[in-house]
Structure formats: structure tokens, C-alpha cells
Chain A
């Protein structure tokens, strides 16, 4: 285990950095690599949904099942790319793009009423009824000048979330 860090050459690290738009420093990439190997228990070079779920703090997250669809079977480069939206160096646009991707489950570039409703369902579980959720959603949509049938694109998301305080920063521990 101790020798794995030396297996990452400068070339490897630079390649990963290019892949994630230089969102992480070289040291951070080395740290992430250690973490990746730790999560990849059976050493297959990718982390399965099962392995992500062994982290209790992740498993209890209300959006964990949804995120797993994006995470399942990632190799190291993809793993870093996934996390790059959470780097302090990532732009607000990248962060909003990530949020949009979480909403846009069918990847058609549009987020419809049902997509938003389904996230709201994950977030509130049995503590709101389906009617309450619909009511809330329709209320805020209309207030913002949209309707139930509006489809949201990425630029719409940018406009809506631009001046709200989206704070999505995760520090990579370096030891």
C-alpha cells in the first residue's frame, strides 16, 4: 500500500489534471488517489456503487442513490472529474452545470417539472405528502414566472442560481 503513491508519475498526474481542468493541485490528486485506492477495496481499478455505500456518511445522504447512478464504476480519472465541481478553483458555472446534471437524469439537456419533483421527493421523503410537494413546487415556479410545463435548460439554471449563494466546496485533506 505504501508504494502506490510512487506509482503515479508526473505524466499521470498531469493527465488527470488536464482531464479535470486543473481543479486540483498535484498534491491533492495524490491524496485523491490514496482515497480512491482505499474505496476500491477489491482493487479492480474502479469503485462500484457497493463500495461507495460502505462509507456511512455517504450512504445516509438523501441523494446517495441518485448520485450513485453517476458514480457507479468510475475509474480514477472520472472520479477526479466528478469531484472537480467541488474544488474551490471550479467556477460558479461549473458548479451549476453539475447541479443541472444531477437534475437532468435522462441527460436530454432539459429539466422538467417531474425531474425537480423527484429530487424534492428524495430530499423530503415521508415528511411531505406528494400533494404538498406539488403545491410547493408550483407555488415557487409561478412566483418566478414559470409554469408547471416549463422546461429548464442549463442557461435557465444559470439565471436562476446565479445570484444565490451556491457554496459547493470540499477540501481535499493532504497528509
Chain B
């Protein structure tokens, strides 16, 4: 089972659009004779195409919302200017300083612990605490006002946490409460450096989303990690990409076939001061952080929801969809039947073929009738 099926599993990890659509959304044609006008009338297909050109749910998922300007009159404008001066002139330097001190303290403690306490149990404990502390410093650097609801996750094996994904700061916000081991895309630059040197010590796993071989290795690592009694709780963002916190794209099913408890986490940002969506195509993560650090505050709710188990006769995809329902309902997100990886890749021809199959079936069926 182990090695030979891994490659197949990875291929299956790409969910089918059809699996997500309710079956009654397929055209229910009552058979009647086929006439020339039925064949010539391609208006349904054209309407679908034009509808997608005018508006499509996929693009909406990744639209950043700029905050409503409120500085539009003579009374508000000076207030707004004052706000700018405070945010950029006072808050930002103070927050930068906080970060700097935090990093210095972190490194001063982390490296001695890392190299001197090699092989001791204490080491990983202290390292976890340090990572949690550093994340708190980050949250403080944007004056994070974060409300956690529900029981705080504890370290134990056989459970995996899944959350909706808006920005890499999701990870920071969750990490300051519990040292999760996260599965994440490899990043370049300073983020990559931190990933490699520090976060690996809390058991985080990195991969490259476009490298199939990488994904195989990750699938195996995931299974090992979940079984290991000492490892940190696993955190997965099954959407595989950042969404703007108003929609949710399909969940990759990998997290749902590990055979253990799945604990959903719903994260909802309040856009009152700043939009926390990281549009990685438009902005580097550093600029994203600067934007957060120059806003008044990042306001956010986190709900730890009831753990879920695979039901009898339920497939991993159905399970994933059930958990997505829970998160979407709690965080008030709209669900769309799209794979987030479409941001980087073209949709597979499977989707087109499915439409062709339905059409061909109806033509053939109606031809037999006549």
C-alpha cells in the first residue's frame, strides 16, 4: 500500500469538479425527438461562456477589497491625516522596534538551545515555546485583536487541524496559541530562511506545490507525523492557496484521508481597519506585513470547532466537503466549486470533457427515441 499507491493518491488529490456539484445541476432533459433547431441552438453554451466573461466566482475569490475611504469631508480629512501621521510616524516605528527586539531575544535564546541541548527532550519543548513567543511578537506588531473561541488545541497524536486560508498570518495567529506543525508552500527570501532554520524544529513540512515528487514525499511525511506520539499537532490549509476571506475554494483531500480526527478551525477577519488577504501575485509578503503594521489593528475571530471523523461509507472528498461546510458556515464564507490551484494552472480538460459527455449523451439518447 505504502509506496506504490502514493503516486496514485497524489493524482487523486486533485478533486473532481463533478464530485462537488449536486447531481441535479446537470440538465435533466426529458427525452423528446431531436430536431434541427435543437442541434443548431447553442445558446445555453454561449450563455454560459458570456456569463463567465461578465462575472465569475473564481476571480471573486481572489479580489482584494480596498477599504472604504472615509476622509471625504473637511472635518474628517484632518482627522484622517492625523491618523496617517500616528500610524506611519509613531505606530509603525514602535512596532518595527518591537519586532526587532523580539527577533534579537528569539535568536539569542534559540541558537544556544538549538545547539547546546542537542538530543535532549527539553530542547523541543523550549523551542516550541520560543516559536509561540515569536508569533505573539508578530501579532503584537500589528496590534492583533484576536478572539479565540472554543477549546484550545493540545498536543496529542492522531489529529489534524484544518483551517481556511487568507494569508500567511493565519499561521502566525494560530501558532501563538499552539505550536502547530504546518504544511506549507516553500517560500523564497527571508520567509524561506525562517522556514528552513527555525520552523523545522516544530516539525513543519515544506513542499513545492508544482513539484509532483515533492508532494509524494509530503504525503508520506504527513502519515508518519500523525502517527508519532511526540509530534506537534498538524495544521493544514487544505485550500492550498490564499483566498480573500469571503469565499472558500475546494479543499484538497489529502488532510482527510490520514485516518485520524479532523479538527476544523474557522478564521474570520474583520476588514474594519485592513484587509488581511495576501494577494501574493500583487504583493510580497514583506509588503503585506508592512501594510498590516501601518494599520490601526488586525481584528480577527478564530473558532476551534468540534472534531470530525470519517463516517461509514463516506469518501475523503465527501468528508472534506462536510468539513468545508462547517468552516464556511461558521466564518460566513461562500463556497465555490473551484480548485485554488487554478490560480497557477489551467483547468484540466476533464471539466470540458464532462460537459461534452453530457451533451453527447443527450443527443444520442434523443436520436434513439426518434
List residues of chain A with CB under 8 Å of any chain B CB. 1-2, 32, 35, 38-39, 52-53, 55-64, 67, 71, 83, 85-86, 95, 98-99, 102-103, 116, 119-120, 123-128, 132, 136-137, 139-141, 143-144, 146, 157, 160-161, 163-164, 166-173
Contact of B54 among A32, A140, A163 (CB under 8 A): A32
Find out whether the CB atom of A125 lies under 8 angstroms from the CB atom of B43: no
Specify which of A64, A83, A160 is in contact with B37 (CB 8 Å cutoff).
A160
Give the CA-CA distance A56 to B49 in the complex, in Å.
Answer: 10
| Contact in complex: A116, B40 (CB < 8 Å) | yes
Known: A56-B338, A95-B43. A124 touches B356 (CB 8 A): yes
Say yes or no: A173-B54 contact (C-beta < 8 A), given A63-B45, A144-B35: yes
* Nearest CB in chain B to that of A67: its residue: B49
| Cross-chain pairs A/B with CB under 8 angstroms, 12 sampled | A39-B53, A58-B53, A61-B352, A62-B356, A67-B49, A85-B50, A95-B43, A141-B36, A143-B36, A160-B40, A164-B38, A169-B47
| For the complex of A and B, 3 pairs with smallest distance between CB atoms | A127-B360, A125-B356, A57-B52
Residues of B within 8 Å of A102, CB to CB, are 42, 46
What are the interface flags for B48-65 relative to A under an 8 Å C-beta threshold, 1 for contact and 0 otherwise?
A: 111111111111000100
A85 to chain B, nearest CB (A): 8
Q: List, in ascending order, chain B residues with CB within 8 A of A53's CB.
A: 346
Q: Chain A residues near B211 (CB, 8 Å)?
A: none
Among B35, B41, B69, B360, the residue within 8 A (CB) of A125 is: B360
- In the complex, besides A60-B351, A123-B356, 8 extra interface pairs with C-beta distance below 8 angstroms are A56-B342, A64-B49, A67-B46, A67-B49, A99-B41, A99-B46, A116-B40, A128-B363
**In whole angstroms, how far apart are the Cα atoms of A140 and B41 in the complex?**
13
Contact, CB under 8 Å: A140 / B342: no
The residues of B that contact A57 with a CB separation of less than 8 Å are 48, 51-52, 56-58
How far is it, in angstroms, between the C-alpha of A170 and the C-alpha of B46 when the chains are bound?
Answer: 10
Interface residues of B (CB under 8 A from A): 34-59, 63, 66, 69, 338, 342, 346-347, 351-353, 355-357, 359-361, 363-364, 367, 370
CB A50 to nearest CB in B, in angstroms, measures 11
Residues of A within 8 A of B346 (CB): 53, 56, 59
The answer to whether B59 and A83 touch across the interface, beta carbons within 8 angstroms, is no
Cα A83 to Cα B52 with chains together (Å):
11
Contacts of B54 in A (CB 8 A): 32, 35, 83, 86, 170-173
A126 CB contact (under 8 Å) in B338, B347, B353: B353
**Cα(A138)–Cα(B28), bound, Å:** 26
In the bound assembly, the distance between CA atoms of A57 and B50 in angstroms comes to: 10
Closest to A162 in B: B37
Distance in angstroms from B57 CB to nearest chain A CB is 7
Pick the residue among B41, B55, B338 that contacts A173 (CB under 8 A): B55
B41 touches A166 (CB 8 A): yes
Task: Report yes or no: B59 in contact with A170, Cβ–Cβ below 8 A.
Answer: no
Contacts of B66 in A (CB 8 A): 1-2
Partner of B47, one of A60, A137, A167: A167
Whether A58 and B360, one on each chain, are in contact in the complex, defined by CB atoms closer than 8 angstroms, is no
| Contact present for A99 and B363 (CB under 8 Å) | no
Given contacts A128-B363, A170-B50, contact A56 B347 (CB under 8 A): yes
- Closest A residue to B367 by beta carbon equals A136
Residues of A within 8 A of B352 (CB): 60-62, 125
> Which B residues are in CB contact (< 8 Å) with A139?
34, 367, 370
| CA–CA, A38 and B38, complex, Å | 35
CB distance from A148 to the nearest CB of B (A): 13
> How far does the Cβ of B361 sit from chain A's closest Cβ, in whole Å?
7
By beta carbon, the residue of chain B nearest A60 is B351
Bound-complex Cα distance A137 to B41 (A):
13
Contacts of A61 in B (CB 8 A): 45, 48-49, 52, 352, 355
Chain B residue numbers with a CB within 8 Å of A38 are 59, 63
Measured in the bound complex, the distance between the Cα atoms of B355 and A62 in whole Å is 7
Query: Does the CB pair B49–A125 fall under 8 Å?
Result: no
> Chain B residues near A146 (CB, 8 Å)?
36
Instruction: Name the contact of B35 in the complex, choosing from A32, A60, A140 (C-beta under 8 A).
Output: A140
